Amino acid sequence: MNALAKIREISINPSLNDKQIMCVDEMAGRRSRREPLQYIMGYSYFMGLKIFVGSGVLIPRPETELMAEHAINRVKSYELRVKGVNPYNPELSTLKPIHNSPLRILDLCTGSGCLALAIAKEFPNAHVLGTDISEAALGYARRNVELNKIKNIEFAIGHLFEPLLSHPSPLVGEGKGEGENSFDLIISNPPYIRTDDIQTLQPEIRDWEPIGALDGGADGLDFYREIISQAGKFLKTNGILMLELGAGCSDKTVCMMKDAGYTDIEVQKDYAGIERIIQARWTN
């Protein structure tokens, strides 16, 4: 049974009072106009977290849950090279488990904050910063922090890395080149739909979700070019860059990462067999 049919079934329930019936009828009308059910209900779920959503913010997707799981598992198993711990025999002390250090994570294009929240919950001693250019989206993100009572996370408004140059945060470095070499992990689910493909999307997406969170430019790769070219300035040595991919974007994104100097590039498929996640290390 689809969502609209379910709503209509509820509306004829004899136990409902007149006010409740009016509310259900209103919901049915909204759904008949192809408004997403998550907007109608006002929330979605992501990695077990209740996430407020509505007009102006992207609805969390299952494929992004997959990236959250992958990021969490990667952080738990990954070793970060720390320089200069033992000056007499560096090889004995240059590897340190990343999840046992004060982990610093940056989530670009954070939207509702679902990805940042899931990671922050898993690593309560970590510092997590999410950035987004949309004040509407960050409004939902801040509500979601309060709803889920997660303390080790903050948000800043601005395009990608721009907030790092001015945001007063323990995550941001001091002095010349603020923000450089600050993060163990930079993660993002950036806009990646080709501009010409926007009109082919389902009405629930095309007509309701924010275009700015979907449109990745003519080839869908505008944000990847910008993130990949700049992320090295904000990653620790051997820090990880992890991005969600649009279908058919993996080969070009791998080339971008190689050209920018990243190593250990890996691509992971989603449950549908689409190459959906790319990650790499920054060693420069």
Given this model, what pLDDT does residue 189 score? 97
Indicate whether 82 belongs to any domain. yes
Indicate whether 229 belongs to any domain. yes
Indicate whether 110 belongs to any domain. yes
Nearest Cα neighbor of 27 from 12, 8, 43 is 8
Nearest Cα neighbor of 133 from 172, 163, 105, 154 is 163
Given this model, what pLDDT does residue 187 score? 98
Given this model, what pLDDT does residue 103 score? 86
Residue 122: what are its φ and ψ, rounded to 5°? -70, -30
Given this model, what pLDDT does residue 94 score? 46
Indicate whether 28 belongs to any domain. no
Both tokens of 187, joined, read 């993660």
Residue 199: what are its φ and ψ, rounded to 5°? -70, -10
Q: Say what the pTM is.
A: 0.84
Q: What is the DSSP letter of 264?
A: E
Q: Per the structure, how many domains does the chain have? A: 1
Given this model, what pLDDT does residue 174 score? 43
Given this model, what pLDDT does residue 177 score? 40
Residue 250 sits in a domain whose CATH number is 3.40.50.150
Give the pLDDT means over successive 10-residue stretches in the chain (284 positions).
56 68 83 92 95 96 93 76 47 48 89 97 92 97 97 95 75 43 90 96 94 96 98 92 95 97 95 94 88
Given this model, what pLDDT does residue 167 score? 60
233 HSE (CA, 13 A, CB side): 15
Indicate whether 49 belongs to any domain. no
Given this model, what pLDDT does residue 169 score? 56
CB 89 within 8 A of CB 98: no
Indicate whether 16 belongs to any domain. no
Q: How far apart are the first and last CA of the chain?
A: 54
Interatomic CA distance for residues 281 and 242, integer angstroms: 9
Indicate whether 19 belongs to any domain. no
Domain that holds residue 218: 54-282
